[in-house]
Chain A
Amino acid sequence: MKLPHSIETRDLTRIFKSKNETVKALDKVSLSIEEREIFGLLGPNGAGKTTFIKILTTLLLPTNGEAYVGGFNVIKEPDRVRKIISLVSGGETPGYGILSVRENLWFFSQLYGLSSTAAREKIKRLMADLDFEEYANTRMAKLSTGYRQRLNLARGLLSGPNILFLDEPTLGLDVLTAKKLRSYIVDWAKKEAKGTVLLTTHYMAEADEMCDRVAIIDRGRILACDSPSTLKENLKQKQIMRVEIASVQADFGFIDKMADVIGYSQTRNIQTGTTTLKIMVDNETAFAKIMRQLEKLKILSVSKAEPTLEDVYISLVGRGFEEGEASTSA
């Protein structure tokens, strides 16, 4: 049986024009996301992830193309779309600092039209499930980032949405809170009859761990879309090596220019003064050549790496996600 598409876009394009530049934030994006799927949109800064979510949540109109959410036309039927979705973003703290946690949730429950009994019950349950009951009467302004994000997620779930849009939901959270929220979201999608999640992230591990399918987006274009395991499976013929070097200054630009090199990424760790290179090559001869060049530097370790989603990205784009930052963390 073919499941109805929960989210569908056709040639979705968004161009931002300003005085001195024109940015194509989305370039003919066509995606179909099924009901009950957790779908990840993975891409570096400026790839167009937030723009995609803003269009689907009716905050922004596309320049071209079509989009449907829950079968409703996002452009023409925004009110019907809004009834079945909600949006939670990392790094934002929507709410009134002067109100308590419970009052903030109550405020939104009323704007969603929940009856008083339903609202009270729902708020109580969400606070218990997400483990922040003890802060119910604390002013929001006094909450730490992790608890604000719990509150934010609870707000998103108050109305009982079918489709949850999560824009980098674990941005800036500690490892434990991030883990807690991820597993909560996965459970939510399993439990809800129509629960669909569209999640953007630039944490590879997050996409790998949570998502049924992942689309890799770069500069507004979808480069690949499949389950994490299939995406990684496709890399099995390639060689991926991890090399740790005792330097944070060396320039590795030469690697790209060598024959049979698909791409590489580097993660600098200033504290330990080391750089970890991940190099993907078509054959081992290419790797031997690179090692001869690297010999001039102090090599701490060399190992063969299992493919990750980052390697999928490297294989498509030729470079790592975010040079310098440990993008596989959290």
Chain B
Amino acid sequence: MDAYLAAIVSVMLIYVLLALGLTLQYGLTGLINFGMVGFFAIGAYTSALLALHGVPVVLSVAAAAVVAGISAWPIGLASLRLRDDYFAIVTLGFAEIVRLTLTSEKWLTNGVQGLSRIPPIYEGTGTAAAFVIVAILLAVTVAAIFLIHRVAHSPFGRIIAAIRDNEEAVQAIGKDPARFKIQVLVVGSALAGIAGALYAHYVTYIVPEQFVALATFYVWMAVIMGGVGRVSGAVVGTAILMFFLEGSRFLGDFLPWISSVQMASIRIGVVGLALVLFTIYRPQGLMGDFTKR
């Protein structure tokens, strides 16, 4: 049970990192990024490959942040020329391209077989090791919370909130929205890259099929249920998401006639239903949505 709890908390903390990235990009700035999982994947593969070639995990995770951040640059440039809805589609396409590239470039990524025996975050077995890993993930997450919170409550945060409200008015007061949007995309994607790296070292085995769009939408659900634009919402929303995801797993124990394939669909259905109920009964999310105050 301890190991199970540690596993849930670990996965949750990794999702919190993603939710924080999305909170920065969408919640605070209004950028619709449907390609979160693409940056997550880039981080996972970057760190895994480097670590498999002998780079210490600390450095490979840092490199994952840099590579994922840099790969957001062209997306950022695209965001300057596209309307919000088209930009969302570009990010969705970007993540698909990342996944297809990971599948097809076998020389680098080992294709659909994926990468195995990735060095773990912390060497060791048993419950003690599991808790050390939780502690490390927690430390990274707390640092990220501090970072995003500081950005949100700063002059920078004021301008990105202004961009969210009215981009042309930001230009009218002599500020370049492009610079802010690109930085927000890069920082948010770097966070997703770190999340991906930690994920790779946590599960120690990655294949392209782990990086499908569903993961992005889980993050969106977490942010919406927690409260868009609230740093605390990213944490609370992810906790709710995990509750429904894991809770529905236990449904299988009570409904033994349901196959595991059906069960997977039911889980998605349960999370979807939770989202629908939230948008009906608490549209501002659990922690409140600053755009609706």
Tell me whether A and B are bound partners.
no
Residues of B within 8 A of A (CB): none
Residues of A within 8 A of B (CB): none
